[in-house]
Structure formats: C-alpha cells, structure tokens
Amino acid sequence: MTDDILISIDGHAGRLSLNRPKAIHALNLPMCRAMIDALLEWRDDDAVEAVIIDHSEGRGFCAGGDIRMLAESGAKDGTEARQFFHTEYRLNHLLFTYAKPVVAFMDGITMGGGVGISQPAKYRVATEHTRFAMPETGIGLFPDVGGGWYLPRLEGRVGAYLALTGARLDGAECLALGLATHYLPSEKLAEAKARIAQHPDRIGGILGELSVTAPPAAIMQHVDRINRLFASDSYEEILAALEADGGEWAEKELATLHGKSPQTCKVALRQLKEGGEMHDFAAQMTQEYAIGSRVVQMHDFIEGVRALIIDKDNSPKWDPPTPEAVTDDWIDTIFAPLPENEKWTPLP
C-alpha cells in the first residue's frame, strides 16, 4: 500500500483518491499497483457497485506519470521505466474492460497518465477547472496510455491536432468533443460523489441533474480548419499545409510544432493511424508498450525532460533535428513488435 493513493469504500462505491498534491497527483508505480489491487478486489465484491476516481486536494486531477523517473531510467537500462509502463498499461486496460461503472472526476489538470485513468471510465466529469492535454511530443515522448485508441476516434482530425500540438482543452471543450460525458460546477462535486455512493444504480441521472450548461467550446470554431490543415498522416505535409495557409491561427500552430520533437510527432501520427484501425484495446496497449520501451531510452525523451523539466531552459536539441531526417526506417524500428517474452500482456 502507499500513502500516494487513498483507497476506501463509501456506501456502495469503491473510491480511489489520488494523493500526491505536490506532484499534481502524478502516477508512480506503487499507485498503479495499489489501484489494480483495489479494482481486482472490488470486481468480485457485490457490496461495491461502482468505482469513483478523483483526487484528494490541490489544483489538478492527475498531471501524468513520473516523468523524471522515466528519464533517469531511460538514461540507464530502462528497466524501471518498462516496469512502470507495463503496470500502468495494465491499469488502463483493467479500467477499459471493467464490468462495474467507473466515474472519473477530471477536476483540474488532466494530462498524460491522468487521461489514461479517466478516458476508460463510463462517466467522465469535467468542471470549470478542467485542463486536459496530451503534451508528450514536447518532451520527446508520445501520447500513450491509450492515446492511440481515444484520439483517432475524436471528430475529424482533432485527435491528430491534439497529439501533435499538445493543445490544452478546458472542460467545455472536453464535453463538446466527447472526452467528458458531463459538465458540473466544481461546487457540486461533493454532492455528486455522496449521492453516487448511496445510489450507484442512478449515476447517469445524478450527474444529469447536477450538470449545468457548459460555456461555448472554443475549439469547435477551429474544427474545419483543423480538419483541413491536419488532414494528412504525413508530418511534412501538415507542416507544409500550415505554412501555405499563412493565417494567424496556422502560424501560431506552426510555431508550436517547431518546438516539438520531430521524431515523436511522426511516432504520434503513425500511432493514431494504426490505432484508429484497431478493434482491440489490448492490441493498442501492446503496440504502445513496444513504442514506449524504445522511445524512453532514446535521445529525444531524455533531452526533452532535461530541457523542460530539469534544467527548464525550454531549448531541447532534438536528434534527428528535422522531420525530413526522421526516416520511415527509423520509425519502423520504433514500431517493431517486441520479442514474445518481452511483450506487454493484460492482467491474467
């Protein structure tokens, strides 16, 4: 057990409250293990009829995974990083296949690993504080934890846009895109949780009663532009389309992309293309684990974490330095299946 996650049963609901406020509740290995153990125990417990996932205090639901640990491990033999990914992805898959209803309260920052434990939930609650993003290309990683499954299933090319740019969405935008199922004012969350714990057979009705009309979703005015300019699965063609457009919005997005790792932007585009064609979430996680096992030990991830998280100079030196230098063979190597004895597997 770990103090970083508070596990309890409240009425008829199991409750998982992330409890690392100083790290904005970023996931570590003991937290993932503890959540898996609790979910497996509750799965066969008739007294637990639903599961609530939230955070204990502070300004975010979950800011991601333990990035510093991953980079330190990647700089060595990568064993610790692979162990974390393997366990985290098992948690993601367990939630995706869980028979009992899960309610995730995405109140505040919901990024990376936080997306991975909220998107599998049947009910996903956004608030005025929600800030949702998959910002991994900025640190040389890629939108994992099922990003290759969820993002290509969003409207048009919005998923590719989010994966490449790391754009942040507010709660209203999450609701409009289907990343959230309900929009509640944060002051109603305590009431929602209390009522769900007492009446887990009425979750949809309770959340519906407490929902309010969300503000206009700003991203929706850009969807046509996103679909046009991010239409290609070729990163070079997307950059060329943005450059040719020349408009203010396109120039802003182009400047954003110029700061990202060319390698992981190409990884993300292929990941979403292939993930959108998959029919099995476990197959998606198997592929993401193969990608993650390699990327975590590559230059761009270690350099990205140095530049943005450790030294904070915000000037990563990507290698390969340009999209053209990232060859198809290079990407093929990253996507190659792992040997049978190293592959990711779901919980037995």
Q: Which residue's entry shows tokens 């684990």?
A: 289
Q: What is the mean pLDDT of residues 74-98?
A: 97
Q: What percent of the chain has pLDDT over 70?
A: 100
Label residue 110 left, alpha or beta by phi (over 0 means left) and psi (-120 to 50 means alpha): beta
**pTM of the full predicted structure?**
0.97
Q: Examine the residue annotation and report whether 205 is marked as an active-site residue of this protein.
A: no
Q: Examine the residue annotation and report whether 11 is marked as an active-site residue of this protein.
A: no
Active-site residue (options: 14, 113, 146, 171): 113
Q: What's the pLDDT at 277?
A: 97
d(CA 144, CA 81): 13
CB distance 149 to 284 below 8 Å: yes
Q: Examine the residue annotation and report whether 171 is marked as an active-site residue of this protein.
A: no
Q: What's the pLDDT at 90?
A: 98
Burial of 1 (0-12, 13-18, 19+ CB in 10 A): exposed
Tell me the two tokens of residue 91.
Answer: 């948690």
d(CA 135, CA 146): 14
CB distance 189 to 127 below 8 Å: yes
Tell me the two tokens of residue 63.
Answer: 């800011």
Active-site residue (options: 11, 14, 65, 74): 65
Task: Evaluate the omega torsion of the peptide bond into residue 200 and state whether it is cis, within 30 degrees of 0.
Answer: no
Q: What is the mean pLDDT of residues 46-74?
A: 94
Q: What's the pLDDT at 171?
A: 98
Residue 280's pLDDT band (cuts 50, 70, 90): very high
Residue 57's pLDDT band (cuts 50, 70, 90): confident
Q: Examine the residue annotation and report whether 136 is marked as an active-site residue of this protein.
A: yes
**Residue among 278, 282, 275 nearest 347 (CA):** 282
Tell me the two tokens of residue 193.
Answer: 């949780």
> pLDDT digit string (tens) for 305-348?
999 999 999 999 999 999 999 999 999 999 999 999 999 999 99
Whether the per-residue pLDDT at 276 is higher than 80: the answer is: yes
Q: What's the pLDDT at 59?
A: 82
Q: Which domains does the chain have, with CATH numbers?
A: 5-342 (3.90.226.10)
Tell me the two tokens of residue 234.
Answer: 């070729």
Residue 26's pLDDT band (cuts 50, 70, 90): very high
CB distance 173 to 218 below 8 Å: yes
Q: What's the pLDDT at 97?
A: 98
Q: What is the mean pLDDT of residues 238-262?
A: 97
> pLDDT digit string (tens) for 203-236?
999 999 999 999 999 999 999 999 999 999 999 9
Active-site residue (options: 88, 107, 136, 303): 136
Tell me the two tokens of residue 54.
Answer: 């939230």
- Mean pLDDT for all residues in the chain: 97
d(CA 168, CA 308): 17
3-state class of 189 per DSSP? helix
Whether the per-residue pLDDT at 58 is higher than 90: the answer is: no
Whether the per-residue pLDDT at 1 is higher than 80: the answer is: no
d(CA 178, CA 142): 21
